Amino acid sequence: LPSVLISSLLFGASHVNNLFTSASIAPTYVLLQAWQAALVGIFLAGVRLRMNAIWPTIAAHAAYDLFPLVVYWVYAFRYQVTVAEFWWSTAFGAAFAAIGLFLLRGAKPSIIPMELKMR
pTM: 0.73
pLDDT in tens, the chain (119 residues): 788 999 999 999 998 888 887 666 778 888 888 898 999 999 999 999 888 888 999 999 998 888 767 666 655 555 667 777 778 888 888 998 999 999 888 766 665 455 544 44
**Under 8 Å between Cβ of 94 and 39:** yes
Number of domains in the chain: 1
Alpha helices by DSSP H, the chain: 2-13, 27-51, 55-74, 83-104
pLDDT of amino acid 89:
80
pLDDT of amino acid 45:
92
CA nearest neighbour of 14 among 22, 25, 6: 6
Domain that holds residue 109: 2-116
